[in-house]
Structure 1
């Protein structure tokens, strides 16, 4: 699906086949299967950073976009800066009644930046902020709470981990320099209880250490999808599926992009960014 006017940059992971795209203060939800694009009202940015996440409420059968805006944080003067933060919500519909609603009286502490995430699981959107915290947004009630990452983990400290849907639960993957890969699973969101599985990386995946590896999406079969770190180079990019319980690579996939497609759209060049989502499926629904 080509979106040329205006050019949107994909920001949110697919939710039931729908994708949230954003460019500056312009946000849209599109369905690649039906080619439908629903443009949301522009937000007032005021030079702030903006993040948009798509969520689905299975009870009311509604799609909503959460928009987070905050002052671009200046790390050179962390205690002097006034962080202007807003949380806005818009219900996705093709009618002209769309509007942004500001979430008032949030009880959570102000966080300074969003560093990753946007995973929707069972009616809630999860995304990472610094200081080992994960934000949980309930799509139906439009309430926000902070979830503390496990103390033993590196969640949201210096770099984003890889949030994913692990068999219907929030999961996160970490890599360290001891040749170990660890999977964290949020067993109870209310009690904030986590479990973990640790696996020594096989020799074929040692190249993942120290790399910005993408590992995200729905892992309903229990196997983890990871990129090879040179996946966006001119070479064909490679994907591995790794089973934590069996501690072995289940299968490998090499994706070769057609030459004409690569030439027209710039796929494979450094200016192009890949996003792989193993849980994507086509949805013929019109909003």
Structure 2
């Protein structure tokens, strides 16, 4: 599915096969499987920074987009110079779509990541080792404290993932080990963890372009991605099992010149977005 001017869009991780992308004040939800595109009403930004995240409520079977607008007020110290406004829109193909302002009762969140949707809630990192939780059905915002020993809530890109239906995050302990954190109780801010030694094959790839991400269901392994070059001619997918501490398999993906020309990928393109756990959804909104 081709989207014009793709380099000028911010694309967010898929939810049930649907993808949300943003350009300026325009927010669109599309389904690559059915080619359906649903454009939401434009947001009045007035110079404010816009972030949007797609979520799904399995109880009412509804998709919603959470929009966060940030305003920076000059000549105010520290975080007092930032204001946030939260808007929500229910995604539908009808013309009755509208943005609703919701109240944030937990204070300034300062989201810095693209986030992930798990079991009716959108999670994304905030500053000060906190994680924002937005309940898609009730439209309530709460904060979860990340483990004090963790680093995953303070790095970019996001390393939040879905681990067997629970929120997870990955720390890289120097170049020798990875630690997986799993949220066991959101209300009590309780986390469990498991640490494993990075195999030598992955240790040599450790760096800013290696990350664990996406959806991990029914004990399936975490996927670790490593683009081999800025030209996107080749990158690797490593299937790694945290519990068994073994590499299941390695897949090399080659993007040849013909593919690039057909899909409009040129030398200036330097980013390949990979989303493990994606599946095709034939539903029309």
Normalised TM-score (structure 2) = 0.92
Partners of 1:137 and 1:144 within 8 A in 2? yes
Q: Once the 2 structures are TM-superposed, how far is the Cα of residue 160 of structure 1 from its aligned partner?
A: 4.6
The superposition leaves residues 14-56 of structure 1 with CA deviations (integer Å, 9 ceiling, x where unpaired) of: 1111000111110000000110000000111122221111000
Q: Which runs of 5+ in 1 are unaligned?
A: none
Counterpart CA distance in 2 for 1:284 and 1:176 is 41
Name the residue aligned to 2:63. 63
Counterpart CA distance in 1 for 2:79 and 2:56 is 38
> Is the deviation greater in 250-259 or in 27-36?
250-259
Written as runs of structure 1 = structure 2, the 5 A alignment for 1:94-109 is 94-104=93-103, 106-109=104-107
Q: Does 2:132 match 1:131? A: no
Name the residue aligned to 2:178. 181
Q: Once the 2 structures are TM-superposed, how far is the Cα of residue 77 of structure 1 from its aligned partner?
A: 7.0
Aligned length: 284
Q: Which runs of 5+ in 2 are unaligned?
A: none
Partners of 1:33 and 1:284 within 8 A in 2? yes
Partners of 2:180 and 2:194 within 8 A in 1? yes
Name the residue aligned to 2:52. 52
Q: Once the 2 structures are TM-superposed, how far is the Cα of residue 158 of structure 1 from its aligned partner?
A: 4.9
The superposition leaves residues 190-240 of structure 1 with CA deviations (integer Å, 9 ceiling, x where unpaired) of: 222100010111111113433242322111133111111536534311110
Counterpart CA distance in 2 for 1:139 and 1:199 is 34
The superposition leaves residues 95-135 of structure 1 with CA deviations (integer Å, 9 ceiling, x where unpaired) of: 1100000112x221213x32214211000000111110110
Structure 1 pair 232–209 and aligned structure 2 pair: CA distance change class (3 A):
same
Name the residue aligned to 1:245. 243
Q: Once the 2 structures are TM-superposed, how far is the Cα of residue 155 of structure 1 from its aligned partner?
A: 3.1
Counterpart CA distance in 2 for 1:233 and 1:200 is 31
Name the residue aligned to 1:166. 163
Structure 1 pair 261–77 and aligned structure 2 pair: CA distance change class (3 A):
farther
Could you say what secondary structure the match of 1:115 adopts?
Answer: coil
Q: Once the 2 structures are TM-superposed, how far is the Cα of residue 266 of structure 1 from its aligned partner?
A: 4.8
Q: Once the 2 structures are TM-superposed, how far is the Cα of residue 71 of structure 1 from its aligned partner?
A: 2.4
Structure 1 pair 16–234 and aligned structure 2 pair: CA distance change class (3 A):
closer
Task: State the superposition RMSD in angstroms.
Answer: 2.3
